[in-house]
A and B are shown apart, each in its own frame.
Chain A
């Protein structure tokens, strides 16, 4: 009997160990003698593990630790759900001295424009952008449309004549709507909540158009055809795909890796975090990962990022008004 209890206890302890393992600091480095940070920094990612936002947060956190850019490690915590509301609630319960921060992207602005959660730009202090990427608009390879102009001409002749796979109230929906408003066409929607859903709907012929990260499109390799890239300049990996701006539509979308802190975080702390992030994004390993995933590694300081976000939010609010 006793033996079995011990076995159960061992299984339990093993489980507890598994739970505790990645969360705890692995090795605390004493690189710089600073007051901040005093303890591991919690980075809240408002998505399930495995996505781009999560991966970038983990890579940069690892780099900051291995290079001793801060004298405490970063621990990534995933808080998916409620269009970011779970993550924001968690941030609010945490420290306001820079030990609790978020890594998000412009889906945050869409949630604000849709008035989904009870948060706004005023709730945050922007630490900065560590690079970002832009998406492509894609049709099936055997589609009759070879250029965006063909597609738009068709849609003008047959309003709502093509099906676009989007998650309502997500980035693909908004980027598509921006282009549709700008060019004056309309599509029919089919709900697709993830990149995986969009991919299966387009490849299977259940949707005609979908938005993908450039890296997702390149990895697919066959079966798809990109008509337009939403970055400001052409992507080196996709030299033949024109930008929307080139084609005469004033639409661009760059989705940054955005680091945020609670609004009341002291400026010095934000600056210290910013300096560490800026150094990390310049690291060759990180640059290599970004390049391999069609992301651009760059650093935008907090204020500048906030101003950009403010402008973007206004544009999104205008789109949101046309959607509802």
Chain B
């Protein structure tokens, strides 16, 4: 491990890590462009680099890309990457209240802490954790995602009916495409363009960024500009009180990241909902509540460290980004898997070391640049939105080199605008869209596996725990109301 660090500190590796992290932050911050796109685009460049440099560049891009998303999520309510959807919930309201720098500072600190804690798991417990994650089969995945879905009800602001409506609508839009449980087209109406379904990124960019651009275009007088940021990033000693929240967010993020196929966006969502459930003032979430930003950002960064665990110990990529990382390694005749530590320890430990250093670089870069970046809220909206629109179109096109995705993005911009107009929250809509395909696929896989026997879930302890938590989440509001009533009644009866 020490060797890996000393190798990493050779100037060219450090330079590549720095370039990668910086590029990642910029690309991550731009709505429409994501870390996986950046990594796919730089992949051909790594062919001619030595493997350690290639890996450091890509890891830097990965960490930077997930972290950068918080900037636009907080300042413009446009998640720069899917991982920062949840950051918009409290980050943007904070910015509206003139607390933009505070939100950014908290987001950055939470990201770094999340990254470092999950690095601890990665460096110290990889084999154990990977073995644990492998026990998760379709039942566990299904109940875990079900639990996250149920938390939607908790997430929705204001009317619960509208929240559930939004979630149902999101789920409905997730239906078209190839039904992976039978390999047949579903609800494509004979269109080969719809065979691929609606992509996550076009839907996400549409619902958040395009709808915001349309709304701006339709508003004759611009909204009051946000206050000019001062050039101080406010982090105080009293922020130590967030330590337990950071730890909780990081652990949740790492553990969800461990599960291949479940990524940073879901990690942030589960962490946020958990924090809200545990909070003594849950009504404040969604109105610019600091713990909301902390919970989301610590978890989404921590999920990277978690996702690297099955990658380096088993060669199982947890996301598209990591699949590309594996591609980069095979070009250099390195096959990730248990043998990597024997065959190419400098790479295996190099990944681990690069992940830690990338987090530190990310902190330095973002801390240094953020006060300037925060000023984008002061720019004329018309110009800013035009630039963002260009990136949204380019990014949507670039995912699959298909113009269909651009039309999908625009269509979902209109949908997003319509939902906002009816005061239906966007969060549950997008999350329903993200989660329901996983839940459906895993439930059907579980039923295939058990020959249709639902009772098999009782032989699955972890699945059962998730199921109980899901039920408790639904039942909790009713129970809480009763408990509250009883407590008040007790107090009233108390003679003193």
Which residues of A are interface residues toward B (Cβ below 8 A)?
1, 4-5, 7-8, 11-12, 14-16, 18-19, 21-22, 44, 48-52, 54-55, 58-59, 62, 76-83, 85-86, 88-90, 114, 116-118, 160, 163, 167-170, 173, 188-194, 196-197, 199-201, 203-207, 215-216, 218-223, 288-289, 292-293
Q: A5 and B383: CB pair below 8 A? A: yes
Tell me the smallest distance from the CB of B318 to a CB of chain A, in Å.
Answer: 8
Q: A160-B451, A193-B180, A220-B315 are in contact. Are A89 and B193 (CB under 8 A)?
A: yes
Q: B135 and A204: CB pair below 8 A? A: yes
For B483, list chain A residues within 8 Å (CB).
none
Chain A CB within 8 A of B336 CB: yes
Chain A CB within 8 A of B302 CB: no
Q: A58 and B47: CB pair below 8 A? A: yes
Q: A200 and B316: CB pair below 8 A? A: yes
Q: A51 and B327: CB pair below 8 A? A: yes
Chain A CB within 8 A of B247 CB: no
For B185, list chain A residues within 8 Å (CB).
116
Tell me the smallest distance from the CB of A238 to a CB of chain B, in Å.
Answer: 15
Tell me the smallest distance from the CB of A44 to a CB of chain B, in Å.
Answer: 8
Q: In the complex, A189→B181 CA distance in Å?
A: 10
Q: In the complex, A184→B27 CA distance in Å?
A: 53
In the complex, residue of chain B having the shortest beta-carbon distance to the beta carbon of A50? B327
A85, A167, A188, A201, most chain B CB atoms within 10 A: A85
Return the CB mask of B371-384 against A: 1 if under 8 Å, else 0. Answer: 01001101100011
Q: In the complex, A83→B192 CA distance in Å?
A: 10
Tell me the smallest distance from the CB of A162 to a CB of chain B, in Å.
Answer: 11
Docked complex: B104-137 residues within 8 A CB-CB of A:
133-137
Q: B331 and A188: CB pair below 8 A? A: no
Q: A168 and B41: CB pair below 8 A? A: no
Q: B45 and A22: CB pair below 8 A? A: yes
Q: B42 and A22: CB pair below 8 A? A: yes
Q: B398 and A19: CB pair below 8 A? A: yes
Docked complex: B258-310 residues within 8 A CB-CB of A:
260-261, 310
In the complex, residue of chain A having the shortest beta-carbon distance to the beta carbon of B22? A14
Q: In the complex, A52→B331 CA distance in Å?
A: 10
Q: A50 and B44: CB pair below 8 A? A: no
Chain B residues bordering chain A, tally (CB within 8 A):
81
Q: A204 and B136: CB pair below 8 A? A: yes
For A49, list chain B residues within 8 Å (CB).
40, 43, 324, 327
For A196, list chain B residues within 8 Å (CB).
260-261, 316-318, 323
Q: Interface of chain B, helix or strand or loop or mixed? A: helix
Q: In the complex, A215→B376 CA distance in Å?
A: 49
Q: A79-B402, A85-B196, A90-B401 are in contact. Are A188 and B448 (CB under 8 A)?
A: yes
Docked complex: B181-206 residues within 8 A CB-CB of A:
181-185, 192-197, 199
For B338, list chain A residues within 8 Å (CB).
220-223
For A54, list chain B residues within 8 Å (CB).
327
Partner of B449, one of A21, A22, A190: A190
In the complex, residue of chain A having the shortest beta-carbon distance to the beta carbon of B48? A62
Which residues of B are interface residues toward A (Cβ below 8 A)?
23, 26-27, 30, 33, 38, 40-45, 47, 133-138, 177-178, 180-185, 192-197, 199, 260-261, 310, 314-318, 320, 323-328, 330-331, 333, 335-339, 372, 375-376, 378-379, 383-384, 387, 390-391, 394, 398-402, 404, 441, 444-446, 448-449, 451
Q: B134 and A200: CB pair below 8 A? A: yes
Q: A48 and B324: CB pair below 8 A? A: yes
Q: A292 and B333: CB pair below 8 A? A: yes
Q: In the complex, A28→B331 CA distance in Å?
A: 24
Q: A15-B391, A168-B183 are in contact. Are A206 and B27 (CB under 8 A)?
A: no
17 contacts across the A-B interface (CB closer than 8 A):
A8-B376, A52-B330, A58-B47, A59-B47, A78-B40, A80-B400, A82-B177, A82-B178, A86-B404, A90-B401, A114-B184, A163-B449, A168-B180, A188-B448, A191-B441, A196-B318, A206-B449
For A76, list chain B residues within 8 Å (CB).
44
For A62, list chain B residues within 8 Å (CB).
44, 47
Q: A206 and B138: CB pair below 8 A? A: yes
In the complex, residue of chain B having the shortest beta-carbon distance to the beta carbon of A199? B316
- In addition to A21-B42, A188-B451, 18 A-B residue pairs with Cβ atoms within 8 Å of each other are A8-B379, A19-B33, A22-B43, A48-B40, A58-B43, A81-B199, A85-B193, A167-B180, A188-B448, A189-B449, A192-B445, A196-B323, A199-B316, A200-B136, A216-B315, A219-B335, A220-B338, A289-B331
Q: A58-B47, A78-B400, A83-B178 are in contact. Are A50 and B314 (CB under 8 A)?
A: no
For B383, list chain A residues within 8 Å (CB).
5
Q: A7 and B195: CB pair below 8 A? A: no
For B398, list chain A residues within 8 Å (CB).
19
Partner of B445, one of A21, A85, A118, A191: A191
In the complex, residue of chain A having the shortest beta-carbon distance to the beta carbon of B337? A219
Partner of A168, one of B45, B182, B384: B182
For A78, list chain B residues within 8 Å (CB).
40, 400-401
Q: A81 and B196: CB pair below 8 A? A: yes
Q: In the complex, A79→B199 CA distance in Å?
A: 12
For B181, list chain A residues within 8 Å (CB).
168, 191
Q: In the complex, A197→B319 CA distance in Å?
A: 11
Tell me the smallest distance from the CB of B479 to a CB of chain A, in Å.
Answer: 34
In the complex, residue of chain A having the shortest beta-carbon distance to the beta carbon of B39? A49
Q: B339 and A219: CB pair below 8 A? A: yes
Q: In the complex, A194→B320 CA distance in Å?
A: 11
For B260, list chain A residues within 8 Å (CB).
196-197, 200
For B331, list chain A residues within 8 Å (CB).
55, 58-59, 289
Q: A15 and B41: CB pair below 8 A? A: no
B23, B137, B375, most chain A CB atoms within 10 A: B137
